Amino acid sequence: MTGIKQLTEQDRKARAEANEGLPTLGFETGTPYDDYVGTATLHGLQRTVTDVPEELPFLVTTQVMELYFGLLRAEWRLAQRQLDADDVTAATLTIRRTVRHFEALNAAWAALSWLTPAQFNSFRDALGEGSGFQSAFYRHVEFLLGNKSEALIRPHRRNPEAYEELVEALHRPSLYDSVLAFLARAGHAVPRSVLDRDPAAEYGPDPEVEAVWVEVYGGPLAPLAEALTDLAEQFSDWRYRHLMAVRRSMGAKPGSGGSSGLSWLERSMRREIFPELWTARTLM
């Protein structure tokens, strides 16, 4: 925001009057919009590696999704700070807001649903070994949702900044860990073994946590449970739509990132987030 001239409500009224209701058309330097949004940088980032027309929508859609991964990371860290401060109302609102972000992120899959195998093949070789699997921000998203895996941060070893952030994220509590710690402080019987577990380890479902969710649904914290369930559903949608995009554009061929492709993705989709929030429903 530095360098941007701030305006008050009064300034805006005076301008609108001076402009006789029309927008301001003259600026001494570039427009304030460009300064704020960083349009020159943003539009300079669409560096396609082929002349194939279908590559640009592929790249832009990927970049849009990457930005959303960063936004989700920032928002869930905020929700964690709010939970840590026992401000569950604020945390629930933040989580609800991220459900909307996720809807927008998932809607972006439509921008790739037209991609046929022939079109994808026409630029795929030029992408080399590049794969969304190597997105550090996506890994942050998964870690915050509780899907921890040390192995999946290894591709970032040669990028010390990204790697250190991921190591830190691996060892930090996930959003789900923060929720469970909050529920324990709120008087719910979250077992000690869950509260004291190694946050870097893969989360395994616990029947006592399942019982906690059944109890939560009968009380004032039910909106938090519902917001988390919405989030889990949106995340499942992202994975499913990604899988469909893969199936449509390359079938069961191996992935650029070195995996078997479809079958690897199907396996990774089985790692469900917030598991007890789903299984508890059978007991309600």
User: Of all residues in the chain, what percent are helix, strand and coil, respectively (each to 5)?
Assistant: 65, 0, 35
175, 256, 274, 277: which one binds ligand HEM (CB under 6 A): 256
Give the shortest CB-145-to-ligand HEM separation in angstroms.
11
| 229 touches ligand HEM (CB under 6 A) | no
- Contacts of 277 by beta carbon, 8 Å cutoff, 6+ apart: 213, 225, 228, 229, 232
Task: Tell me which of 48, 50, 61, 119 binds ligand HEM, using CB under 6 A.
Answer: 61
Complex with ligand HEM: residue 66 or 237, whichever CB lies closer? 66
Q: Which is nearer to ligand HEM, 79 or 112 (CB)?
A: 112
Spell out the SS3 assignment of 150-217: CHHHHHHCCCHHHHHHHHHHHHCCCHHHHHHHHHHHCCCCCCHHHHCCCCCCCCCCCHHHHHHHHHHC
Q: How many residues bind ligand HEM (CB under 6 A)?
A: 25
Positions in 230-249 near ligand HEM (CB under 6 A): 242, 245-246, 249
Inter-CA distances, 242 with 106, 199, 239, 247, 262, Å = 9, 27, 5, 9, 10
Question: Segment 145-184, which members bind ligand HEM (CB under 6 A)?
Answer: none
242-272: string of b/e by CB count within 10 Å (b at 16+)? beebbeebbeeeebbeeeebbeebeebeebb
Is residue 259 near ligand HEM by the rule CB under 6 A?
yes
Instruction: Compute the distance between CA of residue 198 and CA of residue 149 in angstroms, rounded to an integer.
Output: 12
**Minimum CB distance to ligand HEM smaller for 32 or for 259:** 259
Rounded Cα distance, 68 and 137, in Å: 9
Nearer to ligand HEM, 19 or 46 (CB): 46
Q: Please report whether residue 268 would count as binding ligand HEM according to CB under 6 A.
A: yes
Among 146, 173, 261, 275, binds ligand HEM (CB under 6 A): 261
217 near ligand HEM (CB under 6 A): no
Determine if 66 is a binding residue for ligand HEM (CB under 6 A): yes
Return the range that interacts with ligand HEM (CB under 6 A); candidates 57-65, 79-87, 88-96, 199-207: 57-65
What whole-number distance in Å separates Cα of residue 132 and Cα of residue 246? 12
Binding site for ligand HEM (CB under 6 A): 61-62, 65-66, 112, 115, 131-133, 135, 138, 242, 245-246, 249-250, 255-259, 261, 264-265, 268
